[in-house]
Amino acid sequence: MVPLSSEGSLTGKAAIVTGGGSGLGRASAIALARAGAHVTVADVNEAGGKETAALVFEEAGGDAEFVRSDVTREEDVEQLVDRAVGRWGRLDCAVNNAGMTGPNGFTADYTLEQWNTTIGLNLTGVFLSLKYEIPALLASGGGSIVNMASGAGLVGFAGLPAYVASKHGVVGLTKAAALEYAQQGIRINAICPGSTRTPMLEGFMGGDPNIERAMTAGIPLGRLGRPDEIAEAVVWLCSDASSFVLGHAMAVDGGSVIQ
């Protein structure tokens, strides 16, 4: 691992990672801690979240606290941010990662319940997180927020209408909020990961090697991504090393959406 420059360091900073119980959230929490941040890990999965907090200490030598939080519930998000500020004394960065793929199906076959569930977690959850994180960052004098979108937030995919719509929505929300708070010292950006070997993707592939081969065939680098590769982009966007980056939807996808 390349040593961090002073601009890339997060020493003494306080971060929240939603959906931190596994996958990209877990990798992001560990990477942020390696960069020096104190991390509040949030998830509805209590066992996974506590495991991530323990791994932050074991693998990164960092400080972490787990808070059970459902980002679709406004009161949970408010309490999460209050808990983080109470523990660390401030909030400097946040990674809004909690999300789901949603069921497969064409648009006309989707139920309203399926639609609302996916939109509620992937998009409304990011909105609620921003709603409470932004005032906390303002109170700390500014900071950085990274919203986890997807390659599906940049291009369309058949059979995942709610997921694609929600991730396009995350990109749009990121751009709007970035413009609103830029002059108050808050940078808001999004990461659009490509197909990355996480528990969520493994569940989507269902152990079918044909699905994995089909997904890999669409990646110019010829392989699935690793969670740590996405996490490195998270750290960069949270740090001062990216100080002139605002409202950007960064594809970290092995070239999948090159136009």
Of residues 198, 121, 193, 196, the one with CA closest to residue 151: 193
- Residue 197 pLDDT: 86
Average of per-residue pLDDT across 206-230: 89
Would you say residue 64 lies in a domain? yes
Confidence band for 6, pLDDT divided at 50, 70 and 90:
low
Confidence band for 1, pLDDT divided at 50, 70 and 90:
very low
Query: In this predicted model, which residue has the larger pLDDT, 160 or 201?
Result: 160
The predicted model scores a pTM of: 0.93
Which residues, in sequence order, are bridge partners of residue 196?
225
Query: In this predicted model, which residue has the larger pLDDT, 218 or 175?
Result: 175
Q: Measure the CA–CA gap between 195 and 201, rounded to whole angstroms.
A: 7
Average of per-residue pLDDT across 221-241: 96
Domain total in the chain: 1
Taking CA atoms, 246 is separated from 2, 48, 73, 103, 139, in Å, by 24, 32, 28, 32, 20
- Could you count the other beta carbons within 10 Å of the beta carbon of residue 238? 28
List the CATH number of the domain containing 244: 3.40.50.720
- Please determine, for residue 144, whether its predicted confidence score (pLDDT) is greater than 60: yes
Least confident of 5-14, 115-124, 129-138, 159-168: 5-14
Would you say residue 253 lies in a domain? no
Q: Measure the CA–CA gap between 145 and 143, rounded to whole angstroms.
A: 7
Helix (H, G, I), strand (E, B) or coil at 80: helix
Would you say residue 259 lies in a domain? no
* DSSP code, position 5: P
Of residues 67, 4, 26, 8, the one with CA closest to residue 200: 26
Q: Are strands 93-96 and 38-43 parallel, antiparallel or unpaired?
A: unpaired
- Please determine, for residue 228, whether its predicted confidence score (pLDDT) is greater than 80: yes
Of residues 53, 56, 50, 48, the one with CA closest to residue 23: 48
Percent of the chain with pLDDT over 90: 84
Confidence band for 200, pLDDT divided at 50, 70 and 90:
confident
Would you say residue 258 lies in a domain? no
Strands, DSSP E only, in 44-182? 64-68, 93-96, 143-148
Helix (H, G, I), strand (E, B) or coil at 1: coil
Would you say residue 166 lies in a domain? yes
Q: Measure the CA–CA gap between 254 and 219, rounded to whole angstroms.
A: 6
Confidence band for 161, pLDDT divided at 50, 70 and 90:
very high
Q: Which amino acid does the sequence have at 173?
A: L
Confidence band for 3, pLDDT divided at 50, 70 and 90:
very low
Catalytic residue among 110, 132, 163, 181: 163
Would you say residue 257 lies in a domain? no
Q: Measure the CA–CA gap between 250 and 31, rounded to whole angstroms.
A: 18
Average of per-residue pLDDT across 209-233: 91
Average of per-residue pLDDT across 112-127: 98
- Please determine, for residue 2, whether its predicted confidence score (pLDDT) is greater than 50: no
Average of per-residue pLDDT across 70-99: 98
Token match 């787990």: residue?
66
Q: Is 158 exposed, middle or buried (0-12, 13-18, 19+ CB in 10 A)?
A: exposed
Instruction: Give the range of the structural domain holding residue 151, as residue numbers without chain letter.
Output: 10-248
Would you say residue 3 lies in a domain? no
Mean pLDDT, all residues of the chain: 94
Q: Is 163 a catalytic residue?
A: yes
Average of per-residue pLDDT across 214-243: 94
Would you say residue 256 lies in a domain? no
- Please determine, for residue 199, whether its predicted confidence score (pLDDT) is greater than 90: no
